[in-house]
Structure 1
Amino acid sequence: MSKIVVVGGGAAGLELVTRLGRSFGRRGQHDIVLIEPASHHYWKPRLHEIAAGTFDSELDAVSYLQHGYCNQYQTIQASMSRLDRQRKEIEVRDAQGQTSMVNYDYLVIAVGAVSNDFKTEGVSEHCLFLDSAQQAQQAWEQINPLLRAQGEHHISIVGAGATGVELAAELAKVNEKLNRYRHDANLKVTLIEASERILPAGPACMSEKVHNALVKNGVEIKTNTRVKRAESGKLITANGEVINANLQLWAAGIKCAPWLAQLDGLETNRLNQLKVNATLTTTVDDSIFVIGDSAECPQPDGSVVPPRAQAANQAAGHLATQIKRRLKGKEMKPFVFNDGGMVIAVGHNYAVGSLMNNKLILRGRLVRNLYDTIFRLHQRILFGWGRVTALVVLKRLKGTLNPFYKNNIS
C-alpha cells in the first residue's frame, strides 16, 4: 500500500484526488491525502464573481470534508511549509500555527500561482488581489458599500488578462442591473493594461471584440499604461498620469509563492515555478510531481505548458492515469497539452471564444453557455452528471425567483 499526498485543492489538485480516491480509496488499496488550508473549493476562473457579489456559494462551492468522505480521500486543513525529501515527509501548518509532519510515498504539488506585482511600489499595501476565494471575498466586502452608497464611485483594475477583463465586465453588468432597479449608485470601472491591447496572450481579433464589448458596457480601458506606483486612492503611471479610485485591484501577471523555491533542493525558475520533466516528475526527485500553474512543464515543440485552467485540468487527468501505471511498475507517458482555445466571459449573457488554434472567433450568448459548460465539466468530474444536472436545474430556478443581483437590494 502506498500513500499519495496531494498539496493544494484547486481545480487540478481536487480533480486528481477525486480520481485517485475513486480508483484506490474505496478498495482500500492506497491512502489518498489532500493538504489544503481552505474549507471549501471554488473554481478559480470564477473568483471574479465572488468579488462582484454574483457567485452562488450555496450551489457552486465544494466542501472538502464532505467531498473527501464521498470519494474516499482524507483531507487535512493546513498549508505546506517544508519538505524533507530524504525522510519523505512534509511539514504542514494549520490555522492556529501548529505544525505536524505528514509522510508520503508519492507527493503531488498543485498549489497554483498568484498575481505578480513586479515589485511595484505600494501595490501590496494599497491594492487588493484575487488569488483566492478569501481575497475575492475581501474585495466584495469593499465593493459592496460602494454599490450601496449614492453617487459615483471609481474602481481601477490593473491587468487586462482573463481575470481583469472578466472582473471589469462583471462589475459593469452589476452596475447596469442596479441602475435598472433605480438604484442611485453609479460604478465607474477603469481597466489598465501595460501592453498595447487587452488579453495580450490571446489573438488580436479576439482582443478587439472583447475590447469593444467592454467599452459598450461602460468600462474605460487604458492600454500602453504601466503603473509605476500605487498610493492610497490613486495609481501613478510611468508617464506621470494619476488615476484616482475608491478601490484598486491588481490582476497583472503570475508568479508562485516564494516558499516553493526553498523546498529541499527542488529546481525552480524565476517565477518560483517548480521545474518538471515531461512526465510531470520534478527534475531532481521522481517521487514528487507538480501540476497546474506551479509547474514549468516542457512540451515537444520546446515551449512550456501555459498557466491556464484547462492545462491544469488536463494535467490532473493525465497524472491520475500515469500514477496508476507507476504503481503497476509501468513506464509513465509524457504530458502533452492540447490547447482547446480560450473563452472570456463578458457579463452573464455574453462571451467571446477563440477556438481551433485561434482560427475561429465566436461571440454571443451561445459562447457564454460554452463558458458555463466548461465549469460544469469540472463539476462532472467531482460529482458525476446526475448531481450536476440537479445543480443546473436548481440554479435556473433560483435565477427565476431571485433578481440577478440580490445582495445589494435585500
Structure 2
Amino acid sequence: MSRIVIVGGGAAGLEIASMLGRSVNSQDEVILVEGETHHYWKPRFHEIAAGTFDSDLDTICYFSHGANNGYMHYQAWMTDVNRAAKQLVVRKPNGETDTLAYDYLIIAIGAISNDFATQGAKEHCLFLDTPEQARDSWHQISSLLRSGLSRTINIVGAGATGLELAAELAKVSEELSRNPYAAKLNINLIEAADRVLPNGPVKMSEQALLRLEKYQVNVMLNTRIASVEADRMTTSDGQVLNADVQFWAAGIKAPDWLKEIGGLQSNSLNQLVVEQTLATTFDSSIFALGDCAAIPQADGSQVPPKAQAANRAAVHLAKNLVAHLKGKPLKPFVYNDGGMVVAIGHNFAISTMMNDRLILKGRLVRRLYDTIFRLHQKTVSGYLAMSRLIIFKRLKCLFKPV
C-alpha cells in the first residue's frame, strides 16, 4: 500500500488528485491537502474580483468531489516537510499543527505575484493569488461601484492577469453606466515593459492594446512603480497616480516559505528545482509541478508558468506514478506549447496558434477560452459531468432575470 499526498488544490493539484484517485489500486491512498473548501480555477480569479464569476456552477467542493473520485480532502496548509520521517507538517484551520505521513509527496501550490520588494505594495495593494484574495477584491470593488462617483483603479502589471482584470472591470463599468447611482471606473493599467503581454508575441500585444483602448483603459507603458501608499502610487520618475483601489499583478514567484523547504533545492524565485521526471533533485519521493516548480527541458529551456503547462504536467505525472507503482521507471515530461489565449472582457479574446504565427481574435476565440476551462472540468470530473455543467450554464443564462 502506498500513500500519495498532494499539496495544493489548484488546477494541477486537483487534476492529479482526481486522476490518481480514479486510477490507483484500492489498497493505495490519495490525499489532497488544501486549506480552501472549494476549488476555483485560477485563470478566472479576475472574474471573481470583478463580480462576473458564476460561483454556483464553476466551483467544486473538495470534500464531496473527493468522495466521488477516490481521494480524501484534508483541509490544511503545508508549513514544512520532514523528509527523514516522510512526514508533511501542516496547519489546520483551527491553528493546530499536525503531521501527515506519505510515501510520495506532490507539491502543486502554484505561485504568487512578485512585488519586487516595492515599498508599500504588500500593505496597500490587492493581489489575486488565492480565492480568498479574489473574493476580498470583489467586496472592495462592489462597494466602489455603489458609490455613484467617478473612481480610479490602478493595476500594476499588463501580463495576462492584469490585462484580463482591467478589461473585465472596464466592461462591468460600461454595463452599469445605465445606472445613475453606479460609479464610473477609470482604470490605469501600468506596465514596466514597452508593451502589454510582454511575454507574448508582438502582434498579440498590439491587438490586445487596441482592445484595451476601445474599452477606455488608460495603458501606461515603460512605467515603473517606485512606491505605493494607501491611496496612490508614485512612479520612478516622480509621477503620482491617485487611486481608490490598487492591484498588483506583476511578475510571479513561489511563496517565500517554500524556499529550500525540507532542505530541497530551490531557485531565486523560490521554485523547487526538479528533474525532467518532475521528481525533486534531492528527493525522488517528492515531486513538484506547476508554477511552484522549475521544470527543465532537454534543450535547456524551462517550462513556462502557464495553466496549460500545469495541466499537461499533471496528466503526465498521474500516468507516470500509476506506472511507477507497478514497478516501471519514471518517464521525462516533454512540454509542447499549444499557444496562448487571453480573455479581454466578457465576449472577446485573443489567441496565438501555430507557434505564434497565427493570431485569432473575437467572440469565437472567447468561446475557446471557455472551452479550456471546460476541458479542465472534464479532467477532474469526467465528460458527463462537464456536459451537464455546460447545459445547466446555458439554461441559467437563458432564464436568468435581466
Residue in 1 that maps onto 2:114: 116
Q: Distance in 1 between matches of 2:154 and 2:10?
A: 27
Q: Distance in 2 between matches of 1:22 and 1:109?
A: 19
Q: Distance in 2 between matches of 1:51 and 1:114?
A: 16
* Residues 301-341 of structure 1: per-residue CA shift (max 9 Å, x gap): 11101111010000000000110121111111100111010
Q: Distance in 1 between matches of 2:124 and 2:60?
A: 31
- 1:193 maps to a residue whose letter is E
* Residues 231-286 of structure 1: per-residue CA shift (max 9 Å, x gap): 11100000000011100000000011111114221000000000000100000110
Q: Distance in 1 between matches of 2:5 and 2:51?
A: 34
Residue in 1 that maps onto 2:307: 309
* Residues 171-217 of structure 1: per-residue CA shift (max 9 Å, x gap): 01111111145554211111000000010000000000000001101
Residue in 1 that maps onto 2:298: 300
Q: Distance in 2 between matches of 1:181 and 1:120?
A: 38
Residue in 2 that maps onto 1:407: none
Residue in 2 that maps onto 1:200: 198
Residue in 2 that maps onto 1:43: 41
Q: Distance in 2 between matches of 1:34 and 1:297?
A: 22
Report the Cα offset of residue 148 of structure 1: 1.1
Q: Secondary structure at the match of 2:332?
A: coil
Residue in 1 that maps onto 2:11: 11
Residue in 2 that maps onto 1:277: 275
1:174 matched to 2:169: no
1:261 matched to 2:259: yes
Counterparts of 1:9-408 in structure 2 under 5 Å? 9-24=9-24, 27-181=25-179, 183-402=181-400
Cα separation, partners in 2 of 1:184 and 1:276, compared to 1, 3 Å = closer
Q: Distance in 2 between matches of 1:104 and 1:129?
A: 32
- 1:30 maps to a residue whose letter is D
Q: Secondary structure at the match of 2:284?
A: coil
CA contact (8 A) 2:160 2:197 kept: yes
Q: Secondary structure at the match of 1:370?
A: helix
Report the Cα offset of residue 37 of structure 1: 0.5
TM-score normalized with structure 1 length = 0.96
Q: Distance in 2 between matches of 1:91 and 1:383?
A: 29
- 2:205 maps to a residue whose letter is S
Q: Distance in 2 between matches of 1:80 and 1:39?
A: 15
Percent identity of paired positions between Structure 1 and Structure 2: 55
Cα separation, partners in 2 of 1:206 and 1:403, compared to 1, 3 Å = farther
- 2:3 maps to a residue whose letter is K
Structure 2 residue ranges without an equivalent (≥5): none
Q: How many residues in Structure 1 have an aligned counterpart in Structure 2? A: 402
- 2:177 maps to a residue whose letter is N
Q: Distance in 2 between matches of 1:322 and 1:200?
A: 34
- 1:14 maps to a residue whose letter is L
Q: Secondary structure at the match of 1:332?
A: coil
Report the Cα offset of residue 382 of structure 1: 1.4
Q: Distance in 2 between matches of 1:230 and 1:401?
A: 44
Q: Distance in 1 between matches of 2:288 and 2:182?
A: 49
* Residues 47-93 of structure 1: per-residue CA shift (max 9 Å, x gap): 00000000010100100001000011111100111111111011111
CA contact (8 A) 2:21 2:30 kept: yes
Structure 1 residue ranges without an equivalent (≥5): 405-410
Q: Distance in 1 between matches of 2:355 and 2:195?
A: 20
Q: Distance in 2 between matches of 1:182 and 1:350?
A: 26
Q: Secondary structure at the match of 2:398?
A: helix
- 1:311 maps to a residue whose letter is A
Report the Cα offset of residue 29 of structure 1: 2.7
CA contact (8 A) 2:260 2:270 kept: no
- 1:29 maps to a residue whose letter is Q
CA contact (8 A) 2:161 2:249 kept: yes
Report the Cα offset of residue 401 of structure 1: 2.9
Q: Distance in 2 between matches of 1:182 and 1:215?
A: 24
Q: Distance in 1 between matches of 2:230 and 2:111?
A: 26
Q: Secondary structure at the match of 1:128?
A: coil
Residue in 1 that maps onto 2:2: 2
CA contact (8 A) 2:21 2:70 kept: yes
Q: Distance in 1 between matches of 2:340 and 2:179?
A: 34
Report the Cα offset of residue 392 of structure 1: 1.4
Report the Cα offset of residue 386 of structure 1: 1.6
Cα separation, partners in 2 of 1:183 and 1:150, compared to 1, 3 Å = closer
